[in-house]
Amino acid sequence: TICVVIAVGIQFIYYEHPVNNPWIAEEELKYITDGLETKVSKKNGLTSCLPVLITTVSGVLSSLMSHWITKKNLISLNKLRKFTTGFSAFGFSLCMAGILLAGCDAIINILFFALSLFSLGIALSGIVISGVDMAPVFAGSLMGVASTVAGIASVLVPVVTGLLTTHETLSEWRIVFLINLGVVGSSGLLYVLFGSAEVQHWNYLEGEHSVDVATKETKHKYQTVKSIRNQPTQIEEKL
């Protein structure tokens, strides 16, 4: 209901172009329009989309590779999740260190940014999906909590970055990159040391003690619902 209200309300206050907005100030309009549809903005747009595209590709490739490794039983699921998470976190940290050493070299910085986001994409087959491994029954709730924390962080990070880079100097930006390096690197290390992809005991309902039992219960419920839904069709065929 809330989403519907928000979606309807946006239609009355949303405008596709700043010129059509009756509430925008003249100075704000001039500032926005001066930066639109220029060669610089187009170049920045192309540069910005490249890391996102690489992250998507790396996430898909790592997920397919992890699925293949799991299917072939080459290593345990727990070791696989830790390896991909560690590789992702430490790869990102190395790229941040490369940015710190690159200085103002634009090409090298873009390369390291792309590689860092490529590394983060690998985490999709690691810590990102580990909630489903730990508790399949409560996977939705776990992913919801994780997404909430990530959403809060995505709001706070730009604010903190703005406070740390008031003068836009190289030394200030190095502090930001060091924080990124420390947070992601330490998080990956903690998961490698203490994380687990094993199914937790609180995942099971009363009377269930293993994944096989839970799976059988789920299959039985599914077959029951399916047979009830198919009853009208079966009666019609007999008639």
- The 10s digit of each residue's pLDDT in 7-64 is 888 888 777 777 788 888 888 888 777 766 555 555 666 667 777 788 899 999 999 9
Dist CA 218 CA 128 (whole Å) = 24
Dist CA 23 CA 34 (whole Å) = 18
Report the candidate in 59, 60, 52, 151 with the shortest Cα–Cα distance to residue 110.
52
1-18+46-200 maps to CATH 3.40.1360.10:
no
Which residue ranges make up each domain of the chain?
Answer: 1-18+46-200
pTM of the model: 0.68
| Average pLDDT over every residue of 71-76 | 92
pLDDT at 220: 52
Question: Residues 86, 191: contact at Cβ < 8 Å?
Answer: yes
Residue type, 60: V
Q: What is the residue-averaged pLDDT of the chain?
A: 82
Residue 116 exposed, middle or buried by CB count within 10 Å (0-12, 13-18, 19+): buried
91-147: per-residue pLDDT in tens? 999 999 999 999 888 889 988 988 999 999 999 999 888 888 888 888 888 889 988
DSSP run (H or E) holding 63: helix 39-72
